[in-house]
Amino acid sequence: MSWSPEKTEVKSWNEWDPLRHVIVGRADDCHIPPEEPALDAKVPEDSDMRGQWGRRPQETIDRANELLDNFAGMLEKRGLRVDRPTSIDHSVPATTPDFHTESQFGCMPPRDVLLTVGREMLEATMSYRCRWFEYLNYRPLMQQYFNEDPKFRHESAPKPRLTDADYHPDYLSEKIGDAKRLEWAAEKFFVTTEEEPLFDAADVLRFGKDLVVQHGFTTNEKGIEWLRRHFPDHRVHTVNFPGDPYPIHIDATFTPLRPGLILNNPQRRLPKDQRKMFEANDWEIVDAAQPSHNSPPPLCYSSTWLSMNVLVLDPKTVCVEKSEVYQAEQMDKLGMEVVEVELRDAYAFGGGLHCCTADVYRDGECEDYFPNM
């Protein structure tokens, strides 16, 4: 039976089949959280984020929401069903028996929290204390989907304690510098320890029967093992990108566009020994185009490589940020229809076009794109 916007059905097996139903985030009440172990390690020493925290200025929130609303409206005009989160009060401190931090974060990037695999939507553990309660922004939607779709599975990974034992104090002790961080990344030594399973949903890419998961700042090896046990019918592969001194979330580093084609950040190439599964199955990995900007927007956590943080609408159509002209040109040369979306002024609230969305429904079924393993 074909998809209908009037009937709620949760299903998505990959990053490229035709997208029909999606969640688009909001910038409502977004805060710059206080320093904490995982977050402090992510912010470069020379960043204007250092030492700043509190509610973001209202004019920046309004501008980001304008762009997110426009993006949602454009998707609806193309026939997609679009849902939005219900913002909680992010000024309320995040407090558990194990930690206390003075504020939370926001609900602009649902991709960080929600992982859709088939008919399941899984709430990630999250590795930042300020994001411990972030799933609550999406609970009204999860409850709605549960009530309306009898086949929907709403799952939540075990909430981590996030005590000091979850973090290496070495990452906080001094100005480290990118050279040392790159050395640590090559050694797979990150801010998070292996105390308990930790993962963000945005570290996972879906390729039908295969899940590709980045080991880095926000996902540890125990988190990947938890995913492996949770999805026993899938093959779960660990990847890492030694060229990234701040390895957080995979979707500004490794971006599948359609079966057989992946964009890879040229500064963070997938190591040769991890390319075997792709090469054995005739997948082409191409360097992404250079970003159009030399620096990220003010008070932004991310790098300029949000240029490749695109949303694939179907194997022939892709949303690219409007100012990223080099990335758009490359997509055109790769045979993709480019839909330009203005979003740069919302980057600081949690990322790009892929980050600010979460799949609810894509056409297609679970296929094996890597039969030669």
Instruction: Please pick, among 234, 355, 356, 359, the residue that the annotation labels catalytic.
Output: 355
| C-alpha span between 262 and 244 (Å, rounded) | 18
| C-alpha span between 236 and 229 (Å, rounded) | 9
Verify whether residue 249 is a known catalytic residue.
yes
Instruction: Please pick, among 200, 203, 244, 251, the residue that the annotation labels catalytic.
Output: 200
Instruction: Please pick, among 249, 300, 319, 359, the residue that the annotation labels catalytic.
Output: 249
Verify whether residue 355 is a known catalytic residue.
yes
Verify whether residue 368 is a known catalytic residue.
no
State the SS3 of the chain. CCCCCCCCCCEECECCCCEEEEEECECCCCEECCCCHHHHHHCCCCCCCCCCCEECCHHHHHHHHHHHHHHHHHHHHCCCEEECCCCCCCCCCEECCCCEECCCCCECCHHHHEEEEECEEEECCCCCHHHCCHHHHCHHHHHHHHHHCCCCEEEECCCCCCCHHHECHHHCCCCCCHHHHHHHHHCCCCCECCCCCCCCHHHEEEEECEEEEECCCCCCHHHHHHHHHHCCCCEEEEECCCCCCCCCCCCCCEEEEECCEEEECCCCCCCHHHCHHHHCCCCEEEECCCCCCCCCCCCCCCCHHHHHCCEEEECCEEEEECCCHHHHHHHHHCCCEEEEECCHHHHHHCCCCCCCEEEEEECCCCCECCCCC
> Catalytic site residues?
200, 249, 355
